[in-house]
Amino acid sequence: MAFRHLSDMMAQERYDILMLRITDAIIQNDELVVYPNVDPEVITSSKERREHGQSADREWLQRQLAELKAHGFATVAHPRCPLEFLTGDVCPIFVLNDGKRYTVSFYRGIWPKGWIIPGGCAGAIEDIFDPIKLAARECAEELLIMDDQDNFYSLGLPQNEVMARLNQYGIKQINEIKPVEIRILPPLPGHAKRIRLVWRGEERIIAENTTILIDPLNVSIPITVYWEIRLPLSLEQIRIFDGETFSDGRVINRPVRLINSFEVFFLSDHNVLASAVDGGWLSEMARYRVQDPTMPEEEQLPIP
């Protein structure tokens, strides 16, 4: 298929998806250097993401990642294997009032299924060139934190957007909006820790001190930021709701869990969040699950 170009997009417009197709990028010294075309092709839909993935030479990419592991340098994007640029994720780690730490994840019910951390694709031109801000916004939209006294703990989502989501869980008002203390943790091992953009005669660092991966499954570049979120709550007091929505504004209502120990490891070069102990916990959210028999089958989520 023929992809559109960045010049076809409106500068101030927000799209469901807006990512560049990068055909030239290298990694060296923990730095991903990206060289977009002057007017790069863009991806603007899930269908285009599938087309992008189907046309990619993943075997070439796997060989390049093996070269990177062996020698610390490799070309990781090429016209035969363009990369999506980019997605931004946050791994939220709660520290509760007893000092215990819990990592938050959501259950994705469509392929690839599994427990995932908050994050998503760029949706505007500004997102592409500020991935840390993209990751923070995605986390604020998806992770809604309340307590048993109907207080809301804000990660920065505007109040009208918060209420539009909570109303769908039967929550019509909140008692008080409380700020939270967030500490950015050091990045965990990945393929790089910094992104340098070289484009249209200029170059600049657009992300650093973060975990940057080259994902052969989705043929993409995801970045992950690790947040320590301190909450003056016990495990019994906390309530978590999924704020992720479909394009029409309906909450997806995915199951949420906290795990009280975690490790990040690489399986076939993919970043996987796994429980180190049998500590799964499902939030109150399941009691408020929105049942919609008209929802397409591929969007239905099982209740664990």
Q: For residues 178 and 38, what is the distance between their CA atoms, to the nearest angstrom?
A: 45
Higher pLDDT, 257 or 158: 158
Q: Are 271 and 224 in contact (CB under 8 A)?
A: yes
Q: Is residue 304 part of a domain?
A: no
Strand-pair partners of 74: 27
Q: Is residue 65 part of a domain?
A: yes
Q: Is residue 61 part of a domain?
A: yes
For the stretch 90-125, pLDDT in tens is 999 999 999 988 889 898 887 667 788 999 898 888
Whether residue 271 has pLDDT greater than 70: no
Number of domains present in the structure of the chain: 1
Whether residue 157 has pLDDT greater than 80: yes
Q: Is residue 1 part of a domain?
A: no
pLDDT given at position 111: 65
Give the model's confidence band at 219: pLDDT under 50 very low, under 70 low, under 90 confident, else very high: very high
Q: Are 229 and 238 in contact (CB under 8 A)?
A: no
Q: What is the largest CA-CA distance in the chain?
A: 57
Range of the domain at 232: 6-299
